[in-house]
Amino acid sequence: MCGIIGITGAHEGLIREAAKTFAYRGPDFSAVVSDGRVTLGHNRLSIIGLDPHANQPMANADDTLRIVFNGEIYNYKELRQELESLGHFCVTASDTEVLLHAYKAWGNAMVGRLRGMYALALYDRSAGALVLMTDYANMKPLFYAQVGSVFMFASELKGVIAMLRGVGGKIAADEEALDIYWALGYVPVPRTIFHAVRRMPRRTVLTVDVATGICTEHEYEKLSTHALTVEELQALIERKVQSHLVADVPVGLFFSGGTDSSLIASILTARNIRIEAFSLELMARPEDKAYFNAIAKHVALSIRKRYFGIKEFDEIYPTVVAQIDEPFSDSSLFPMYFLSRMAAEHVKVVLTGDGGDEYFLGYPRSLVLSRMVGAPLDAEMTILDYLYIGTPRFRGKVRLFEKLFSFFRKPLSYYLLTVSPTKDLMRPRQWRHAKRTLGSRNASPTSLDAEFYLENGILRKVDIATMYSSLEARMPLLDPEIVAAAEAGMPALLPLQSKKPLLKRMLATYLPSSLVYRGKRGFGLDAPVFFAASRYLERDYKSALAYLGEKRLIDLRRLPEATTLVRRRPSMLWQTLLLYHSLKNAGI
């Protein structure tokens, strides 16, 4: 895992300074190269091919191609063999060099052959083109902006902001993006909270003409597959979990005792693959410890555990908010950063179970949405929407309208109401913008979490928490072949009777039913408890309201007093704080 950055033109000094804003993404080596037309920079976290010859930016033998690459290609050895059979010759043991040869052999079509997570930029010097690519699920971020003909990109928003300042670009909050942020708790791609900056969507190739700055973008095709049986899908997942272990450094596992991480642990230990696991015992959650201890004992898993409470939160809070540049409403960022920091003391890579909930229907709302498959997407406002969001009499009747939206088969309204951090505190305009955004991808009701929450919430949180700790996170359940199989096979299970039926059925082949079929909570923090006890939160929340209110980015008249808001709409506490720090850190 690494950090990449680049800009058209000769801007070596600017790139060096901008790359420092996310130096933690790659503390092992940093470099900048420029030919006067394009300047590329790279911060390296060495995982595959530890030899210095694998450092980046990397060029091919005749220097017609240059690359900066963030991520890992798990099938790079197989691709290297295929390329060598075509006459290519690799001189390093890295997956980065394989990408250079793959582009030379197959051009943009190489993305269909890659199995991994990546955000990369290839500078084709002979064609005068800069080619940016993102992976199948958007596990690795890539932000970009343009000022005139000058194009720039980076792994983090703050890197692009630094370059924008260097070339005289304007940095301002995007009010419509903020409307969507208040409604959903994140800003979906391709928007960011800033007018001038965009984030590349998943499965995307963006080509920039270096001379003119003209950009062309296209989404590459999904993998085609047929619906698999449970046994076939289980065999596929077992293969892919093992494939994600490729590395020249130790690999660990984030282990919570939930279905996804327990399945990964069980697959590995059943094959005598020993892996060190890392777990958190959250304050006032003794049931988590009991379950992950029981599962770890059953599969003979070695676990390093740490406690996370008020003291630990206050220890890391200033560090996280000082770096944040992209806001969302998920408080689990803080315990996940704490866990990442602990793991980074022992390994450079961890496997996680992310993607299981979103692609295998793991939320309570998944059961309701499964009964709306086939219903028209209600992207525009309906009478029920106006009644809920525009009528004071019905504001706050969340449970009632969840039932009404479900009964009348309004999937987008139902989804928005269940996931929104602000719910009855939204303005009609915010509700409308969010619904249109949710309808923009023409997603089926059961794929809304995968299309929006996963890409824009979960994966951003994972990348931020782990990269702030110089730790690489890999997500086997988001392998393109698993995603394609899940999308092809889910309809046969509908309507659902329980959450995550496929993965639980697989896990039951390794664990007793008492450890499989049970409830589990995530890493979310108890906002009222932390708000009352932390030495930072109450003071910071007051500062956030003053700052956002002065800039008219929040409607203070709609907010209840702090303790009421934290009790009724706890996610809005984190949403407000992280927006405040993201804007303040950007100098807005």
Catalytic positions are: 2
Q: What contacts 231, CB < 8 A, 6 or more positions away?
A: none
* Tokens of residue 92, six digits: 């390093």
**∠ CA 545-551-552 to the nearest 5 degrees?**
80
Distance, in Å, from the CA atom of 490 to the CA atom of 263, rounded to the nearest integer, reads 19
Nearest CA-CA partner of 454 in 581, 360, 340: 360
Residue 395 Cα distances to 18, 432, 436, angstroms: 46, 16, 21
95 assigned binding-site residue:
yes
Nearest CA-CA partner of 58 in 45, 47, 69, 50: 69
β-partners of residue 307 are: 281
Distance, in Å, from the CA atom of 499 to the CA atom of 561, rounded to the nearest integer, reads 36
**∠ CA 124-42-119 to the nearest 5 degrees?**
65
Q: What contacts 87, CB < 8 A, 6 or more positions away?
A: none
Is-contact 475 117, C-beta < 8 A? yes
Distance, in Å, from the CA atom of 55 to the CA atom of 49, rounded to the nearest integer, reads 9
- What's the burial of 392, exposed, middle or buried (CB within 10 Å: 0-12/13-18/19+)? exposed
Binding positions are 95
> Which residues are annotated as part of the binding site for L-glutamine?
95
